Structure 1
């Protein structure tokens, strides 16, 4: 397994970046990385995990370690995984994002994603009401 795909390092970044939701474990990352339809873009500083099946690319998760935020890595990772997915034959990309994650929503909108649906009270929160999931989609070039 390449060093950038180390499940423990990815889980550590996910834990640091996801403070409102349950972060994914190293075991969960290992299982996803073993799936032939799932692809990693980036490294432990910033990464995206994407599943590509039947012409669709789904962003499963994206994370930038707080020590590396505000450096444009998130936008670079977004552009990179979408380009790779299109090269592999995907024509559409979709994702979901918590309604209270306005920074991620701004990134996704800037990358051409538009709102296509809402899942009510989808993301549990430790101290507040569950957040809705916003479903977003875009065509790939």
Structure 2
């Protein structure tokens, strides 16, 4: 997991293998994986948080991200989440297109969150 995460998020804050495994194994956690990538999140009370969504660069533009996102949302609903949140770099156009196209909307902004790049806070009612 950490190797793929480092490839996808080159130059950004990368998660260590230990951090990824801890998130995956968290009792509140959501972990969805395919040969194309993975998504990690968690549900606390009625709120889900998508922590990271990773698609192998050689598998992009084939629906893998959409499928992982839909799986995350479905699992969050089954854990009684009523809404979900995520943060995405404001300059990550492919990710923004994925999330906005799936019905997520911007509800906030964190200035300079990613090494000087703003993070957009997105929400979707589940």
So what's the TM-score if we normalise by structure 2? 0.95
1:51: which partner in 2?
42
1:33 aligns with 2:24: yes
Is the CA contact 2:30–2:75 (under 8 Å) kept in the aligned structure 1? no
Q: CA deviation at 1:44?
A: 5.5
- In 2, the alpha carbon distance for the partners of 1:44 and 1:73 equals 9
Size of the aligned set, in residue pairs, is 126
1:132: which partner in 2?
118
Q: CA deviation at 1:46?
A: 1.1
1:5-32 residue CA offsets vs partner (Å, 9 max, x unmatched): xxxxx11111111124122111111221
1:5: which partner in 2?
none
So what's the TM-score if we normalise by structure 1? 0.85
1:117: which partner in 2?
108
* Runs of 4+, deviation exceeding 4 Å: none
Q: Which runs of 5+ in 2 are unaligned?
A: none
> What's the Cα RMSD here?
1.1
- In 1, the alpha carbon distance for the partners of 2:17 and 2:36 equals 15
Bigger proportion of residues as strand = 2
Aligned pairs (5 A) from 1:25-104: 25-43=16-34, 45-104=36-95
- In 1, the alpha carbon distance for the partners of 2:38 and 2:78 equals 19
- In 1, the alpha carbon distance for the partners of 2:27 and 2:78 equals 16
Look up the SS of the partner of 2:13 in the other structure.
coil
Whose radius of gyration is greater, 1 or 2?
Answer: 1
Q: CA deviation at 1:53?
A: 0.7
Q: Which runs of 5+ in 1 are unaligned?
A: 1-9, 125-129
- In 1, the alpha carbon distance for the partners of 2:6 and 2:34 equals 15
